[in-house]
Amino acid sequence: MTFINFKFLHVAFMFMGVALAVGPALLVYLIARSGDAPTVRRVFALAERIFQISTVCYGLGIAAGFAAAVLVTLDLTAPWLVTAYVLVALLGADGTLFDRWTKDVAHGLSGGDTRMDRLRSDRRPAYLLGAMVVLIVAIIFVMVTKPSFL
């Protein structure tokens, strides 16, 4: 495999990871706010598998990126790459917190209407989604521009 092949796999897997994380996360958040408990249960059960596939795509993308970097003897401690590592770690933490929220919702729906009222007013997932989008844009910026000011 060549550098271009690994670079393509890196970009492709990262795009798939983003697509399978952000879109479904936004949908489960909006569906949770609807207050329709049976729909929330069904959708959250389906979303769990999609989030797992997203995580695998992110992992494969990171592995392909590492392979591409090693193949061309890229400095793995370059400031822009270290910045990207930190941003990816923050994105992983954000995804973990969002996943914890979805599991809390799925397991806590037996609480009745009060639980659904609290679920509709919970701002935590909105903040986590916002952070997810900002981190993804920041990662793309750093990876594309390789800023020298870092």
Distance CA 84, CA 107 (A): 34
3-state helix, strand, coil in the chain (%, to 5): 85, 0, 15
* Chain Cα centroid distance, residue 23: 10
pLDDT of 4: 94
Determine, yes or no, domain membership for 150. Answer: no
Distance CA 150, CA 148 (A): 5
The pLDDT-based confidence of 105 (bands split at 50, 70, 90) is confident
The pLDDT-based confidence of 113 (bands split at 50, 70, 90) is low
The pLDDT-based confidence of 148 (bands split at 50, 70, 90) is confident
Q: What is the pTM of this model?
A: 0.88
The string of pLDDT tens digits covering residues 4-25 is 999 999 999 999 999 999 999 9
Distance CA 3, CA 9 (A): 10
Determine, yes or no, domain membership for 86. Answer: yes
Determine, yes or no, domain membership for 88. Answer: yes
Run of H or E residues at 14 = helix 3-34
pLDDT of 35: 76
pLDDT of 149: 66
Is 57 buried (19+), middle (13-18) or exposed (0-12) by CB count in 10 A? Answer: buried
The string of pLDDT tens digits covering residues 126-145 is 999 999 999 999 999 999 99
Determine, yes or no, domain membership for 24. Answer: yes
Determine, yes or no, domain membership for 133. Answer: yes
Domain of residue 27 covers 3-144
Is 56 buried (19+), middle (13-18) or exposed (0-12) by CB count in 10 A? Answer: middle
Mean pLDDT value across residues 93-118: 78
Number of domains in the chain: 1
Run of H or E residues at 68 = helix 37-71
Answer yes or no: is pLDDT of 121 > 90: no
Determine, yes or no, domain membership for 149. Answer: no
Answer yes or no: is pLDDT of 45 > 90: no
